[in-house]
């Protein structure tokens, strides 16, 4: 009798797996067809998105003020709606946060994502509507799995559970809406079938005490068959190292032999890849990048052997772009059908969460225009240009990776700011926390500086004869220096990131002072 029950259970499980795989295969094919449609007809797809946004919002306060009901073309939209920064649209968001309906989007807004793109003292609160949750963020999550399964048809990712690492949230004093990390809002509103396939439990996932949360997730993770991971690389590493310590294993494939996928975003993965390879040395772990922000989900790595990101054109987001060489004038914004390959642009978005012609602060480069694929370059405000050198994040991260590979070094985190040595001259100060420090710091700095000159002609010109820009300076930070600094600023966990480049000394001075 006992063996009959076992056989029945095995048959039932096999039927469940067969049905699940058949159903998932049907869903994947259905969605791939729609992705192929917007790849084939990208311009019409974007025009359809704009038309739908205007129709949905024409009776809102913002829509009435800007004549949405009379707009028929992109040119009219461009003429009637100015490009805005967060500060310039905040007066509308402030009204939404008082509980008023129909301000930026039909109805009331129940969630606000506390933007964590920087560690500036002032937080940004981005409205999250039901439409943006379903049509952008959740749709993107399903698309990441869809594209992964398409590229790896032999995947067994659904035979285990995934770790989703997110932040926390809380209700406002009047209990009228929820503020929190985007990741926490997403976790709290997942459908039941997603929660069945992930850890930690919701109570643990939404805890605000980051260090206690990590301990509890590590305990749960060590007892489950983990096949996939989702989170920001820097914070995921903290969790994974805690799991490794608790499990007393040499690497995490011993604990999770079926691990196969890490879905990541939020920051450039390159500086962290070697640390993941040390934790998962068998080359079984695949990496899939998504480009998401509090304002929306924008692009997904769709190719097996390329890190380029496919711009997703049917998420309820209408895109415009300002060429970075014309960034001083917002009138230079163009639609997607006018962009050029290998040009750098600042992104402007109009979304189904009620943001219109909103400058999000990210910069990208188009690597392809058929289909539209991009590479994230940096931030419009994240650069060092105190001496005319125009150093951007992409340069800094590529040069650092080069120096690390040459000197067999592993960097945990870094930030860069200027040092003023005289009225007209200075240098860059790099604060670096190493996992494996260079044996010869002078040679490491020389390689870093030389690569920066090769990548950036403006930097090279200012470094000429060291008249204006001197040799860069590296300060080695003690273990957990960045973590402790973020803790003091109440910025642990979720999507909080260490700013890479600053055009002033505010951040580098704060970190250096925090060491004392």
Residue 451 has pLDDT above 60, yes or no: yes
Selection from 440, 428, 407 nearest residue 473 by Cα = 428
Check residue 15 and give its pLDDT.
43
Q: What is the pLDDT of residues 260-296, one digit of tens each?
A: 999 998 888 888 888 999 999 988 899 999 999 999 9
Of the listed ranges 5-14, 297-306, 496-505, the least confidently predicted one is 5-14
Q: Who has greater pLDDT, 383 or 447?
A: 447
Task: Write out the two tokens for 142.
Answer: 């399903």
- Token pair for residue 200? 């930690």
**Cβ-count burial of 498 within 10 angstroms (0-12 exposed, 13-18 middle, 19+ buried)?**
buried
Burial letters 155-190, b for 16+ CB under 10 A, else e: bebbebbbbbbbbbbeeeeeeebbbbbbbbbbbbbb
What is the tens place of the pLDDT at every residue in 469-490?
Answer: 999 999 999 999 999 998 888 7
The arithmetic mean of pLDDT across residues 505-512, rounded, is 92
The highest-confidence range among 201-210, 250-259, 416-425, 499-508, by mean pLDDT, is: 250-259
Percent of the chain with pLDDT over 90: 63
- CA dist 197 and 213 (Å) reads 19
φ, ψ for residue 382, nearest 5 deg? -105, 90
- Say whether pLDDT at 2 is over 50: no
Per-residue pLDDT tens over the stretch 53-103: 999 999 999 999 999 999 999 999 999 999 999 999 999 999 999 999 999
- State the first-to-last Cα distance of the chain, in angstroms, to the nearest integer: 70
For 130, 152, 257, 259, the CA distances from 285, given in Å and listed in that order, are 33, 12, 10, 6
Q: What are phi and psi of 372, to 5 degrees?
A: -80, 105
**Interatomic CA distance for residues 50 and 306, integer angstroms:** 30
Summarised one tens digit per residue, pLDDT across range 338-352 is 999 999 999 999 999
The reported pLDDT for the residue numbered 119 is: 38
From residue 95, alpha-carbon distances to 90, 106, 116, 461 in Å are 9, 13, 22, 49
C-alpha 18 chain-centroid distance: 34
- Cα separation, 291 vs 363, in Å, equals 12
Q: What is the mean pLDDT of residues 311-329?
A: 94
Integer Cα distance of 490 and 184 in angstroms: 16
Q: Is 66 exposed, middle or buried (0-12, 13-18, 19+ CB in 10 A)?
A: buried
CA–CA gap between residue 133 and residue 150 (Å, rounded): 24
Report the range of poorest mean pLDDT among 152-166, 177-191, 236-250, 447-461.
177-191
For 22-44, how does the pLDDT look when each residue is reduced to its tens digit (9 = 90+)?
666 667 888 899 999 999 999 99
């Amino acid at each position: 009798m006992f063996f009959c029950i076992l056989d029945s259970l095995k048959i039932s499980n096999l039927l469940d797996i067969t049905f699940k795989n058949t159903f998932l295969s049907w869903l994947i094919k259905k969605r791939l067809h729609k992705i192929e449609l917007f790849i084939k007809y990208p311009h019409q797809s974007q025009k359809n998105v704009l038309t739908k946004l205007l129709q949905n919002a024409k009776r809102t306060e913002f829509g009435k003020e800007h004549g949405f009901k009379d707009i028929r073309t992109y040119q009219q939209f461009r003429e009637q709606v100015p490009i805005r920064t967060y500060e310039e649209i905040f007066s509308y968001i402030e009204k939404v946060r008082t509980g008023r309906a129909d301000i930026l989007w039909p109805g009331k807004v129940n969630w606000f994502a506390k933007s964590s793109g920087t560690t500036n003292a002032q937080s940004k609160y981005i409205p999250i509507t039901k439409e943006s949750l379903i049509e952008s963020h959740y749709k993107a999550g399903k698309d990441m799995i869809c594209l992964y399964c398409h590229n790896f048809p032999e995947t067994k990712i659904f035979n285990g559970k995934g770790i989703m690492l997110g932040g926390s949230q809380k209700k406002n004093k009047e209990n009228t809406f929820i503020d929190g990390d985007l990741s926490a809002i997403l976790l709290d509103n997942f459908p039941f079938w997603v929660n069945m396939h992930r850890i930690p439990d919701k109570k643990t996932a939404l805890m605000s005490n980051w260090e206690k949360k990590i301990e509890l997730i590590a305990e749960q993770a060590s007892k489950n068959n983990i096949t996939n991971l989702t989170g920001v690389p820097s914070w995921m590493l903290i969790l994974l190292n805690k799991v490794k310590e608790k499990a007393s294993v040499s690497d995490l494939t011993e604990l999770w032999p079926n691990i196969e996928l890490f879905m990541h975003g939020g920051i450039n993965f390159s500086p962290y890849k070697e640390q993941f390879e040390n934790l998962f040395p068998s080359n079984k772990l695949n990496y899939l990048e998504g480009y998401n922000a509090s304002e929306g989900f924008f692009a997904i790595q769709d190719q097996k052997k390329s890190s380029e990101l496919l711009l997703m054109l049917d998420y309820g987001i209408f895109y415009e772009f300002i060429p970075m060489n014309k960034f001083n004038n917002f009138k230079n914004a163009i639609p997607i059908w006018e962009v050029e390959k290998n040009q750098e642009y600042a992104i402007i978005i109009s979304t189904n969460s009620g943001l219109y012609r909103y400058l999000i602060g990210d910069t990208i480069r188009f690597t392809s225009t058929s289909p539209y694929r991009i590479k994230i370059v940096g931030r419009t405000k994240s650069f060092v240009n105190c001496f005319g050198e125009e150093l951007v994040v992409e340069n800094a991260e590529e040069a650092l990776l080069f120096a690390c590979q040459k000197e067999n070094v592993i960097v945990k985190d870094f930030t860069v700011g200027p040092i003023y040595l005289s009225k007209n001259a200075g240098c860059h100060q790099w604060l670096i926390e190493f996992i494996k420090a260079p044996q010869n710091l002078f040679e490491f700095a020389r390689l870093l500086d030389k690569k920066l000159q090769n990548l950036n002609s403006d930097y090279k010109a200012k470094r000429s004869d060291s008249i204006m820009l001197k040799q860069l300076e590296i300060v080695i930070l003690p273990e957990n220096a960045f973590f402790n600094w973020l803790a003091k600023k109440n910025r642990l966990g979720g999507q909080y990131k260490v700013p890479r480049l600053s055009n002033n000394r505010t951040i580098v001075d704060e970190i250096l002072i925090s060491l004392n």
